[in-house]
Structure 1
Amino acid sequence: MKRLKITAGTMCFLLLSGFLLSCNKDFLEKPLSSDVTIDTIFSTKVKAESFLWETYRTSVPQGFPHDWGADGRENHHDGMYASMLMAASDEGDVYDSWPSSNVHNVGSWSPNYNAEDQFGYHYKGIRNASLFIENIGRVSDISETEKQQMRAEAVVLRALQYSELLKRYGGIPLVLHSLKATGNVKIPRSSFQECVDFIVKSCDSAAAVLPQTYPKASRGRITSGTALAVKARTLLYAASPLHNGTPYLDDQKKLTGYGNFDVQRWQLAADANKAVLDWAADNGVELVKTHADPAMNYEAAIAQTDNSEIILANKGEGSWGDWWPMTGQFLMPRGFYGGWYGHGVTLQHAQKYQTTAGVDQVWDTQGSFAEFVQKMQEMEPRFQQSVFYSGGKWNDELGVREFFKRSNGSWTGGAPVNGVGFMKKFLTRDRWGDTYQQWIVFRLAEFYLNYAEALNEVTPMAAESYSALNKIRERAGVPLILPADPRYNSQEKLRAAIRRERAVELAFEEHRFFDVRRWKIAGEEGVMKGQMWGLNVYEQADGSKIYKKEPFENRVWEDKMYLYPIPQSEIDKGYVIQTPGWL
């Protein structure tokens, strides 16, 4: 049995205990026998802590892509193999056809294969959390206060997993205790409301016990703020049109939402997100604004580990080597640091950014390369930190690069790409060889946007909505949004501005894929359906270059895709109902 070491700057669940329990892929399988018993695990503080770290490992979301090996996709409940979720939304695309994001784009996923989620792995984390909750009281060398706090950590981790399941599947089976070989393992799906209520109750109880902060050596552990964040995001989703209003399909309404509209659900979401902002203000959690350059503040908020606005991050991603875990190969642009193809950024997404002057950029069907570069350079700081375009700068080491199609029909290095350029958010720091990479689960910027959105639905055009939204824009170095501006002077216009700001600020962080679902706009042309567009650069016979606006793909959408199907292997057991539309 290996003792887990905790060092400053390193999350305690990075290393794995030698005695980790295994779990079958089917979430309701009976637990396997093991030479290590519950009595062994919960006999001392050191062993119990190691099991808690394993619970973290199996419960905290991870969005970086993984390969298809034994230590890759099979051991992650989320994170597509060989691509990011942004490439399965209107944010982006990968040029190669084999990465798993394309399964969603062409509509070929089903109850027999979902490229984005490992349903059973969620329940591995849930089972670990339940085992810890039920047995931590048996450890003799831990104080009662610390036991309560550790138990509360596991309660939040379990709630987080149920929240991740809920936004994908709607109502799901609530397994409230660790299953025994002699007990009932035939647990049906609970209603959407029952799942929301359970998550909220769990977070409320845990927040009352958990510490506000931890010492530096334990950064990354669940705080009371994390509990508030899980609750706040869950209630925002629950208040959104997909669940709070007319059902998108008539079948099994209790699984997909409430079946009616109630504005008080938006009030609950507003209050919960305001609670996160209040907690942050009291505990030194604040937007990163340490640089004079707004672009550097945005970059630091994403890439600087343990920065001031992180509420929870997964620190379990090791350094990106040449061939393992292959994350860099999937993410880096073609030919950059061994990258295979990179992730293109669609024109649909690029057009959500404004220029530094706070106006929309206009793209003609065709124009000169000089015009292309000029228009790109006019875009706001967050665009510069998020998108690498031909004629732009990657980083100090690689400098400015151009990529285009030569007049002889071949591509230059770095090309081709589907979109206006490559995603460079997360990537421009030299992270190779670092101890870990952080995947952001919760950061403060989200909760300003959550609060602005929810409050605008309860009290249209409330001053606090504008204020929360402008906290983000002020940090970004772009003009503020004012109620006197005719572009933003109604509830509908402010709603559109908040959604647009969310797409920009939280780009590629696994929000947009779910946001367009909870807003019930995924079926609109150019969102998850229809033609996707890019800007391609072409060399002419005389050596000059031009850009052209061109479509690169037609995507498929059906309304049943608003929620995921339960794996067919679970349906075949006879006691779990399939998600509406997937029969």
Structure 2
Amino acid sequence: MKRIKIYILLGVGLLLALSSCEDFALGDKFLQKPPSNDITIDTIFSTAEMARRVLWNSYDYLPYGYSTDKFFTAMKKGNIEGLTDLNQGYCNDSGELQIYYPGKYTADVENSNQSGTISMNNISKFRFKEFGSWSGIRHAWLFYENVDRVPDMSAEEKSRMKAEAKILVAIFYANMFRHYGGLPLVDHSLRADELNFPARATVQETVDFIVKLLDDAAACPDLPWVLPEGEQDNWYGRVTKASAMGLKVRVLLFAASPLFNDTKPYYPGEASDKYLTWYGDRQDSRWQAVADAALAFFKTMKSQGYYRLVEKGDTQKGTSRAAFRDAYYKRGTTETLIASFRNIRTANQNSLLVQSIRWGGFGPTKECFDMFPMADGTEFSWDNEEQAKNPFANRDPRLYETIYIDGDDFKGKPIQLFQENPADKVNYPKGANFGVYPIDASSINTGLTSFKFGFDRDGGEFKGRVIQWPHLRLAEIYLSYAEALNELGRAKVKDELGMDAFDYVDVVRNRVELGDLDKNMGKEDFRELILRERACEFVWEEVRFFDLIRWKREDIFSKRLHGLKVFKHKTTKEYAFSEFLLPERAWQKEFSPKNYLSAFPSDEINKGYGLVQNPGWE
């Protein structure tokens, strides 16, 4: 979205004056903000150029999972996967170490300082006010309500951009829905003279609200399925019909899962009694809605073309590993359905994302390492003598893109990710770059270190990039559809396109040449395989955490995690390994299901406009 970023910079002062969102808050404070006397709505929407900037500003608030210097995201120097079995965070300047691991999370943590800024006391995984969602929603509705008055914009462009505005509102709500459940539903740009901020809606009402926004947008005849060829470079990042249809699948999948769709609530309380955190029952029709939405997406994809997984033939290197890298990292691919950006370039190795990786914010666990199968798609096992001798060899290509592997190439030199063996320091010395830049601090703490997103972080192609956040990729739609079919008991039944659930998973696996699945497995085993496939495909893309909470996986949240010490004989080059326990997290001692959803800020609850607290955080 290169051009969009330029426009935002030109118009940011103007927009702040228009919307007064620099101090945006909910409840009383928001309602007391007067409109600007200097620049009016009439001024902004008097020309197409100025009007567009309102919507571009909404784009700038889209969810972004990287740590950045100017936007507090991903628990500052941490990430949401640090709350799962995939990652152990070791960066002191992170939400994991400051709040979650020691068990200090409460509703009060979510309150802002008096200045409205973020401190180390409230760097949680999602902040109801400070994340910018409400500002993005307001700008989108401001545009939607006023664009028709613009004199020098065609009717087709107005129609298209109004559809985009609805999709943006849906993206903000979909992201918050995964953190909170039912939400206050804002369907217009709130005015300063409105007396009340909306009360919290039920889960059903929230899902219906999001889905309607997406359906309305997708039905717009002026919204393209994919960006026209002339827009691919300068307007990359604008949402499309495919964005709307793909996001609908994600929302419905989350809503159909047992967190909300079950015979009892995940935790008792007022919010559960009012159906703000569950539907009140379990219905297979909700899984059917996922399957219907996914099939509609794939049928449209078949008829309209363009979207497909990135394959090795699309890459310069011509490898399946390169295909996977381009899928999550490269801008403008046929796989990205929703991408977001920040106006920040990775100027050098001191950018916050680089430091987050380097200082241990991304510490892969042994459990993460073990999830990836062998290169032929068969299971990896430490009980297999040959595999255990060198677990780095012949593995799923995605492993090498996710975790630094000993012997792999880094800028033309082999990585030496092995440490000194205290029992035999002579024969098992430390590798030349173990625990030394570019290998980050997590290698010291977990024995493993992250590769994904920061693979060339001391210069090269990483330098000077505006890095996209892959908020939604096509691979997720394949796996979500397979999951829905499995839950409906139709995993082996061919759909209208002649494919079954196993085939849809195979599409994702085949991209990295893992081979087809054995279809002789039951519903529960296939469910576990799909969840593991999603884990391997989307490490650090904020998928695993939401998969675990929607399936209420207390068993995974509660288990102790491990690191892996790697030793290498200096003469024979044979490996030796030592598994060790990672530091215990508070919820591993005593897990409470209340952790599945975030708490609303207690000071926002106290304003009395109907924001009922999530159960367990009252």
Q: Residue in 1 aligned with 2:149?
A: 138
Of residues 578, 585, 593, the one that matches 1:559 is 593
Q: Residue in 2 aligned with 1:336?
A: none
Between Structure 1 and Structure 2, which shows a larger proportion of helix residues? 2
Q: Indicate if the aligned counterparts of 1:14 and 1:57 stay in contact, CA closer than 8 A.
A: no
Pair 1:94 & 2:83 matched: no
Between Structure 1 and Structure 2, which shows a larger proportion of strand residues? 1
Q: Residue in 2 aligned with 1:280?
A: 301
User: What displacement does 1:397 show?
Assistant: 4.1
Of residues 381, 398, 423, the one that matches 1:382 is 398
CA distance in structure 1 between the aligned counterparts of 2:409 and 2:24, rounded to whole angstroms: 41
Indicate the SS of the match to 1:536: strand
CA distance in structure 2 between the aligned counterparts of 1:537 and 1:323, rounded to whole angstroms: 27
Bigger mean CA deviation after superposition, 373-382 or 505-514: 373-382
User: What displacement does 1:161 show?
Assistant: 0.7
| Percent pairwise identity | 32
Which runs of at least 4 in structure 1 moved beyond 4 Å after TM superposition? 10-16, 370-373, 408-412, 538-545
RMSD across aligned C-alpha pairs, in angstroms?
Answer: 2.7
Q: Residue in 2 aligned with 1:314?
A: 340
Q: Indicate if the aligned counterparts of 1:321 and 1:328 stay in contact, CA closer than 8 A.
A: no
Pair 1:118 & 2:127 matched: yes
Of residues 264, 267, 272, the one that matches 1:249 is 267
Bigger mean CA deviation after superposition, 152-161 or 568-577: 568-577
User: What displacement does 1:538 show?
Assistant: 5.1
CA distance in structure 2 between the aligned counterparts of 1:445 and 1:501, rounded to whole angstroms: 10
Of residues 93, 97, 102, the one that matches 1:106 is 102
User: What displacement does 1:467 show?
Assistant: 0.9
* Mapping for residues 310-349 of structure 1, pairs under 5 Å: 310-316=336-342, 318-322=344-348, 325-331=351-357, 339-341=358-360, 343-349=362-368
Q: Residue in 1 aligned with 2:194?
A: 183
User: What displacement does 1:417 show?
Assistant: 3.5
Q: Indicate if the aligned counterparts of 2:447 and 2:566 stay in contact, CA closer than 8 A.
A: no
Q: Indicate if the aligned counterparts of 2:372 and 2:396 stay in contact, CA closer than 8 A.
A: yes
User: What displacement does 1:316 show?
Assistant: 2.4
CA distance in structure 1 between the aligned counterparts of 2:516 and 2:141, rounded to whole angstroms: 46
Q: Residue in 2 aligned with 1:400?
A: 415
Pair 1:213 & 2:222 matched: no
- In the alignment, residue 277 of structure 1 is paired with which amino acid? F
Pair 1:579 & 2:614 matched: yes
Gaps of 5+ in 2: 111-123, 494-499
TM-superposition CA deviations, 1:43-96 (whole Å, max 9, x none): 1000011111101112x21000135xxx221xxxx4220122222221112223
Indicate the SS of the match to 1:180: coil
CA distance in structure 1 between the aligned counterparts of 2:239 and 2:435, rounded to whole angstroms: 47
TM-superposition CA deviations, 1:415-459 (whole Å, max 9, x none): 544435112112225443334111101111010001000111113
TM-score, structure 1 as length reference: 0.88
Q: Residue in 1 aligned with 2:239?
A: 222
CA distance in structure 1 between the aligned counterparts of 2:10 and 2:297, rounded to whole angstroms: 30
* Mapping for residues 516-535 of structure 1, pairs under 5 Å: 516-521=548-553, 523-524=554-555, 527-535=556-564
Of residues 501, 506, 531, the one that matches 2:538 is 506
Of residues 149, 161, 177, the one that matches 2:172 is 161
Q: Residue in 1 aligned with 2:60?
A: 57
TM-superposition CA deviations, 1:273-302 (whole Å, max 9, x none): 222223333231111113342112111212
Task: Call closer, same or farther: CA 1:476–1:420 in 2, change over 3 Å.
Answer: farther
Pair 1:475 & 2:516 matched: no
CA distance in structure 1 between the aligned counterparts of 2:182 and 2:525, rounded to whole angstroms: 32
- In the alignment, residue 249 of structure 1 is paired with which amino acid? Y
Indicate the SS of the match to 2:82: helix
- In the alignment, residue 116 of structure 1 is paired with which amino acid? K
Q: Indicate if the aligned counterparts of 1:192 and 1:255 stay in contact, CA closer than 8 A.
A: yes
* Mapping for residues 188-203 of structure 1, pairs under 5 Å: 188-203=199-214
Q: Indicate if the aligned counterparts of 1:26 and 1:570 stay in contact, CA closer than 8 A.
A: no
Q: Residue in 2 aligned with 1:496?
A: 528
Q: Indicate if the aligned counterparts of 2:91 and 2:356 stay in contact, CA closer than 8 A.
A: no
TM-superposition CA deviations, 1:237-269 (whole Å, max 9, x none): 111010111211132221111011100100101
* Mapping for residues 351-362 of structure 1, pairs under 5 Å: 351-362=370-381
CA distance in structure 2 between the aligned counterparts of 1:19 and 1:52, rounded to whole angstroms: 13
Indicate the SS of the match to 1:454: helix
TM-superposition CA deviations, 1:85-114 (whole Å, max 9, x none): 222221112223442233223332221225
Indicate the SS of the match to 1:221: coil
Indicate the SS of the match to 1:520: coil
Q: Indicate if the aligned counterparts of 1:61 and 1:314 stay in contact, CA closer than 8 A.
A: yes
